[in-house]
Amino acid sequence: MPAANAISLYNCQAVDTKRIPVAGITEFRNFVIEAAKSGKRIVSLFASPSSPQQVRLFAVLADDNAGNLSVLSSDVSDKYPSLTPDCPQAHLFEREIAEQWDVVPQGHPWLKPVRFHHSYSTGRDNKKEEPILPSVMDFFKVEGEEIHEVAVGPVHAGIIEPGHFRFQCFGENVLNLEISLGYQHRGVERAMIGGPDKRTLHYMETLAGDTSIGHTTAYCQLAESLSGSNVSPRAQSLRGIALELERLANHTGDLGALAGDIGYLPTSSFCGRIRGDFLNMTALICGSRFGRGLVIPGGVGFDVNKQHSDTLTEKLARALKDVNVAADLLWNTSSVLARFEETGVVQPEICKELGLVGIPARASGVEIDCRFNFPAGIYRFAQIPISGWHTGDVFARAYVRWLEVQRSIDFINDQLNTLPEGQIKTNIKPALPGKFCVSLVEGWRGEICHVGLTGPDGRLSHYKIVDPSFHNWTGLAMAMRNQQISDFPLCNKSFNLSYCGYDL
C-alpha cells in the first residue's frame, strides 16, 4: 500500500516540516484515494508555495478509529491530475487550491471559484486587473419546458450572513441547489502569515463569531504545540467549560430557530431566551457573551472562583430544566414531527463520500466527534460519549443537538466539581522554526481544523483553516435534492452553517 511513507501524527503534535514526505504526484494521488476508500477522511488538503514556480500540496487524512492523522505532500507546478473524480471528498479543497494558487486540477468536474478573489501566486495570474465579481460564474442548469430557476441572496430576509443560493426547480421540487459563497471573505488566512502579532487572536475570535471559543482553542492549541509549551490542567478544564457553553448556546438557539421555521412558536420563544442564558454564563466567566478574551495562548484570561462556580451550577440546572421542557414540546407535537421527519435526508453513504462532519454526520449515523476520536486538552481526561441518530433528516439533526445539550451540561457540572487547582495561564515560548502542526477541535458545528507551518524565523509561514461549514455546505445541497423548495429554510436551519467561517 502506498500509504506506507506518509507521516503519522496525533492531534496537536508538532513535527519538523522537512519530515513530511514529499511524494510524486501519482503516489500522492494514490495515497489520498486509497486512504479515502479505506474510510479515512480528508481533514485538510491545501497548497503552500515551495518555490517561485511550485506549490506543495499537503494532504491531512484522519483515521477516526485509530485517532491518528497521516500527512503526505507533493510538489506541483501549474497543473496536476485532479483527485476529485476518484475521491469526491477532495472537490472543494481542490477548487480552493485552484483559486488560491492558480494551479489547475485537471479533470475536476466542478471547477468553479470558492470565494471570488484573485490568486495569491504572483506572476501566474494574468487577469489581476479584471475585477472578480462574487457569484458571477456558470451555475449548473437544468433545462426543460417546466423547469424554473430561483435565485436567492446574497442579502437574505432575516438577520443572517450573505450567500447566494441557486435552485433548479420542477414545480415545487428542487432538482438541484447550488450554493455560491465568498461574500464574507476578509482574507484571514493571508493576514495570519508572519504572525503571531497583536491582531492574530482577534482574527481567530472573529473567524466565525458564534464559534469564538472553538476557533481560538484550535489556534491556541496549535500555537502551544508549535512552541512546545504546556497549559495547566485548570486552564484546560476552563477551556472545555467554555467550549461546551458555546455548544449549549448554539444548540439551544438552533432548536428554537427550527421551531420558528415551522411556525411552532412556544419552543421558538423559550429557546431564544434560554440561548441567551447560556451566553450570559460565558459572560459571567469572561464578561463577553461570545467568550472574547477567554481563550488565550498559554491558558485562559479569566479564572472561576467558588462563587462563580456555584452560580454557574445553579444557572445550568435551571437552564437544563427549561430547555428540556421546551424540547419535549417538539418531540411530543405531531405537527412538529410531521415537518421534521423525513425532511432533508442525507444518507450515511453520502456523508462519508463527501466527508461531512459534526451534527449532520452524527445525525446520519456516522459517529465521528473530535472530542472522542481526537481528544486534546481536557477531553483526554474527561470524555463525552458521541451522540448520534440514524435517520439523517431534520429530526435527527435536531435530536442530536438535544442529546448533546444534556451531555454538555453533565460535562460542565463534572468539570466545575473537580476543577484542578493551579495557574490559569503560562507565558508561552516563541514558536520553533520549521514546524508543522495540525490542531483539531470539535466546535458546536463540527470538526474545526487549523494547520500551521512556521518559517525559519519561527513566524507563521502558512496557515490553513477548515471550518466544519467548509465540509458541510455540500451536505445541505444534497439534503435539498427532491425536497420542496419551501423546506429550504428548515433544512438550512438544521445545518446552520457558517458563512464567514467558510469564506475566511
Q: Which chain residues interact with other proteins by CB under 8 A?
A: 115-117, 133-134, 154-155, 157-162, 182-187, 191, 198-199, 202-203, 205-210, 212, 266, 269-270, 272-273, 275-276, 280, 283-290, 292-293, 302, 322, 325-326, 328-329, 332-333, 498-500
CB of 489 to other proteins, least distance (A): 12
Interatomic CA distance for residues 237 and 291, integer angstroms: 15
Interatomic CA distance for residues 476 and 483, integer angstroms: 11
State how far Cα 134 lies from the chain centre: 22
Closest to other proteins by CB, 18 vs 199, is 199
CB of 223 to other proteins, least distance (A): 16
CB of 202 to other proteins, least distance (A): 4
Comparing C-alpha atoms, which of 23, 84, 89 is closest to residue 57?
Answer: 23
**Cell digits for 214?**
472553538
Closest to other proteins by CB, 195 vs 392, is 195
DSSP state of 375: -
CB of 443 to other proteins, least distance (A): 13
CB of 168 to other proteins, least distance (A): 23
Closest to other proteins by CB, 32 vs 320, is 320
Closest to other proteins by CB, 169 vs 294, is 294
Q: List, in order, residues 6 or more apart from 480 with CB less than 8 Å away.
A: 167, 174, 177, 344, 487, 488, 491
Q: List, in order, residues 6 or more apart from 36 with CB less than 8 Å away.
A: 42, 61, 87, 89, 90
Comparing C-alpha atoms, which of 210, 232, 285, 220 is closest to residue 469?
Answer: 210
SS3 per residue for 386-448: CCCCCCCCHHHHHHHHHHHHHHHHHHHHHHHHCCCCCCCECCCCCCCCCEEEEEEEECCCCEE
End-to-end Cα, the chain, rounded Å: 36
Closest to other proteins by CB, 79 vs 289, is 289
CB of 48 to other proteins, least distance (A): 20
Question: Is 116 in contact with 134 (CB distance < 8 Å)?
Answer: yes
Closest to other proteins by CB, 276 vs 348, is 276
CB of 441 to other proteins, least distance (A): 17
Closest to other proteins by CB, 56 vs 292, is 292
CB of 389 to other proteins, least distance (A): 23
Interatomic CA distance for residues 103 and 211, integer angstroms: 31
Closest to other proteins by CB, 253 vs 375, is 253
**Strand-strand pairing, 41-49 and 79-81:** unpaired
CB of 207 to other proteins, least distance (A): 7
Strand-pairing partners, residue 106, are: 81
Interatomic CA distance for residues 458 and 431, integer angstroms: 5
Interatomic CA distance for residues 73 and 58, integer angstroms: 4
Question: Is 408 in contact with 301 (CB distance < 8 Å)?
Answer: no
CB of 504 to other proteins, least distance (A): 10
Q: How many CB atoms lie within 10 A of CB 383?
A: 13
Closest to other proteins by CB, 164 vs 435, is 164
Closest to other proteins by CB, 388 vs 468, is 468
Comparing C-alpha atoms, which of 82, 26, 46, 38 is closest to residue 62?
Answer: 38
